[in-house]
């Protein structure tokens, strides 16, 4: 995997986290829709309702674990960016791979030429390769 591919995982992971969080929210809403008697009376619940509840609870636990692992991976990659010693490398890589700016936009924001930012980006990618 190249440094660019590695750093581009940040946005892919954010998309996966967003999708799984949406699914988790829907599952939790469905869990609330399971009928309850609302009393302390013992009422035989249907096997389907109990099975649905158990499967939904298992799916919620799985999704929560997946989201935690995806966040951990994303934070690990971001941590590698912020572990670089050169502050300009950090600013360029974080602007591009975390904030989604183009190199041209980064050049404008940081008041450097596009060519300079392109060279800095290249050197920063080499540094990230050493940390992978």
Phi, psi of 33 (to 5 degrees): -85, -10
Phi, psi of 113 (to 5 degrees): -75, 155
Q: How confident is the model at residue 104 (pLDDT cuts 50, 70, 90)?
A: very high
Q: Mean pLDDT in the chain?
A: 88
Measured distance CA(107)–CA(113) in Å, rounded: 6
Measured distance CA(3)–CA(83) in Å, rounded: 15
Indicate if the alpha-carbon torsion angle 41, 44, 48, 53 is positive or negative: positive
Q: Is the pLDDT of residue 43 over 90?
A: no
Least confident of 26-30, 88-92, 114-118: 26-30
pTM value is: 0.77
Please state whether 111 falls in left (phi above 0), alpha (psi between -120 and 50) or beta: left
- Is 117:110 a contact under the CB 8 Å cutoff? yes
Q: How confident is the model at residue 37 (pLDDT cuts 50, 70, 90)?
A: very low
């Amino acid at each position: 995997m190249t440094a660019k591919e590695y750093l581009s995982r940040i946005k892919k992971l954010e998309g996966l986290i967003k999708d799984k969080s949406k699914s988790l929210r829907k599952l939790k809403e469905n869990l609330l829709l399971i009928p309850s008697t609302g009393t302390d009376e013992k009422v035989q619940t249907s096997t389907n309702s109990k099975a649905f509840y158990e499967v939904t609870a298992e799916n919620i636990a799985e999704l929560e674990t997946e989201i935690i692992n995806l966040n951990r991976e994303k934070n690990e990659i971001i941590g590698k960016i912020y572990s670089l010693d050169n502050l300009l490398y950090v600013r360029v890589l974080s602007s591009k791979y975390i904030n989604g700016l183009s190199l041209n936009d980064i050049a404008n924001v940081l008041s450097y030429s596009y060519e300079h930012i392109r060279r800095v980006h290249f050197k920063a990618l080499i540094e990230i390769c050493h940390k992978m």
